[in-house]
Amino acid sequence: MVSVRLYNPFHSILRPRSNSPFCPRVPSRFTPLPLRRSLHSSKVVASMEEPPPGYRPNVGICLVNPSNKIFSASRLDVPGAWQMPQGGVDEGEDVRVAAMRELREETGVTSAEIISEVPYWLTYDFPLEVREKLNKQWGSDWVGQAQKWFLIRFTGKEEEINLLGDGSEKPEFGAYSWMSPEQVIERAVDFKKPVYEEVMKHFGPHLKSDSVTDV
């Protein structure tokens, strides 16, 4: 079983978040969440230096707490879809800067440090219906996403996490939980599972130690 923090926008106790044009910070509560199983057959394509043509440059964040549990959150726009934080890289932006920016925008977390990274880009293809939806939204024609993944240590307190983010972007998540690597993969949508498996394989030595340490 996985403990989940749910965010309720209609909660009666609201505390404003400074410099946020969106919603105020909202308290949360815990409920249990059963795991689900599904099959996947996508393959991971790795590129050492540059994202392959046709793939949107993206960063992925494997955020871990002192217990080596991994942050995963459910998307507001896709019920039942859980994922680690991720987001596009702006033109000319350093990927490490992009990773910390996306983490802040999606979770409100600033107390964190990068401790490892996958030294190559990992790609996944969008399913047709997802591709049509996202490319219409972005005004693009991406086949999928090429991701640079980072293992990031969370050094703050739990109350720092705010799924309304830092107020600079529309919120993406409605609940979050700290999970084991197996649970993160289990809860992910099928087309992301191969990338998640590769990420966990690469970061495995860090996650199995008593504490997440630099290498």
Distance CA 11, CA 8 (A): 6
Please give the model's pTM, rounded to 2 decimal places: 0.78
Domains of the chain, earliest start first: 2-208 (3.90.79.10)
pLDDT tens, position by position, 110-138: 999 999 999 999 999 999 888 898 888 88
pLDDT tens, position by position, 154-204: 999 999 999 999 999 899 999 999 999 999 999 999 999 999 999 999 999
- The reported pLDDT for the residue numbered 176 is 98
What are the residues whose beta carbons fall under 8 Å from the beta carbon of 202, sequence distance 6 or more?
Answer: 118, 149
* First-to-last C-alpha distance (Å) of the chain: 32
- The reported pLDDT for the residue numbered 146 is 97
> Once rounded to an integer, what is the mean pLDDT over residues 91-119?
98
pLDDT at 144 over 80: yes
